[in-house]
Amino acid sequence: LVAAMTAFVGVGTAWLTVSTQFPGRRFFNWALVLPLATPAYIVAYVYTDLLSFAGPVQSALRGITGWHVGDYYFPPVRSLPGAAVMLSLVLYPYVYLLARTAFERQSAALFDAARILGAKPWRAFLRIALPCARPAIAGGLALVLMETISDFGVVDYFAVPTLTAGIFRTWFNLGDALSAAQIAAWLFIFAIALVFIEIASRRGRVANPLSRDMAPAPRKLGRLAGTAIAIACALPIILGFIVPVAVLLRYAIIEGDPMLGRNFLDFAWNSLLVAALAAVLATTLALLLAYGERLHPTRFNRVSIRLATLGYALPGAMIA
């Protein structure tokens, strides 16, 4: 579910921002990445509060319609589909970033030839742009799937049984470290399978079969079509970033913890320090691995780099 939704949103928004000219296009180019900064479990808390029976959405619905309990059906938020939606709202930028880069690097000659042959824009997208960008999309989906199988906050809060939730419950609630290690081994096997599936999807494919002599120019749209595309690109940002941040700001202002004022600077400093150190260390290791593959492009080095990404599929709390 998460893979399907992130692929739809990520690839769709990437293609729209690259291939069309609409109001706010430059803003959406970078704003569509903002949900990646929102923790998935925070989004889950926010939407559970908004969409629960006693929340403002259902309360307003009952107030407008006069309905009572049992008079209407409202999809449960804390469910497997609900968890998939929460994760998709914050993980689609992985696919968006890689797909957008792949679309931007495609040669305009391909689309000129398609237009001469009478292919419409969406047909050119399905027959040319999408197949050429498939390796990049597969890489983004691999990151999304690894992030999904390692998630604990959302699945635990929504009571969705997953391998990661099973590891924590077996280890900390039951005190059975051996069984938790066995579940973790299965999680590691799934991560290895994802890596090799991603490698297989790239085999024999190239992102751009022609030299990039000229990138395709964005197609100008009418006012109605441009507005519709702008709204479509705004929805993921609103649902994945603006709504959660707005609700959190409301809680902080109206119902904030009085201890937060005195400790906020310490909390912020610790968060920034950990993030900066992790970014420096990760960048250093990534540069060493990439430079090593550049100097010695052997199959062993390529596979080693792929295997180095397996840690991304393991929960950070479990590694700690």
pLDDT for 19-64, tens place per residue? 888 888 889 999 999 999 888 889 999 999 888 888 888 888 888 8
> What was the pLDDT predicted at 96?
93
CB 178 within 8 A of CB 66: no
- Domain membership of residue 284 (yes or no) is no
Average pLDDT over residues 16-21: 86
Q: Are 188 and 310 in contact (CB under 8 A)?
A: yes
Question: Do the domain assignments include residue 64?
Answer: yes
At 231, the pLDDT band (50, 70, 90 cuts) reads very high
Kindly tell me the sign of the dihedral angle through the C-alpha atoms of 36, 41, 44, 45. negative
Q: Is residue 292 part of a domain?
A: no
The predicted pLDDT at position 310 comes to: 66
> Measured between alpha carbons, how far is 296 from 312 in angstroms, rounded to an integer?
25
Q: Note whether residue 310 is domain-resident.
A: no
For residue 204, pLDDT over 60 is answered with no
DSSP 80: H
pLDDT band of 286, cuts 50, 70, 90 = confident
pLDDT, averaged across the chain: 79
Percent of the residues in the chain that have a pLDDT greater than 70, as a whole number: 79
Spatial neighbors of 131 by CB under 8 A, at least 6 apart, are: 205
Is residue 226 a part of any domain in this protein? Answer: yes
Number of domains making up the chain: 1
What pLDDT is attached to residue 241?
Answer: 93
pLDDT at 319: 63
Q: pLDDT band for position 198 (50/70/90)? A: low
pLDDT (tens digit per residue) in 272-282: 898 899 889 98
Q: What is the pLDDT of residue 301?
A: 72
Tokens of 135: 């390796």
pLDDT over threshold 90, residue 210: no
Predicted pLDDT of residue 300: 74
Question: Is 210 inside a domain boundary?
Answer: yes
- Residue type (1 letter), 145: L
CATH number, position 95? 1.10.3720.10
Q: Which of 42-56, 230-244, 255-269 is predicted most confidently?
A: 230-244
Residue span of the structural domain in which 80 resides: 2-258
Give the lowest-confidence range in 11-20, 190-199, 237-246, 294-303: 190-199
pLDDT confidence bin for 117, thresholds 50/70/90: low
d(CA 100, CA 104) in angstroms, rounded, equals 6
pLDDT value at residue 251:
81
* pLDDT tops 90 at residue 239: yes
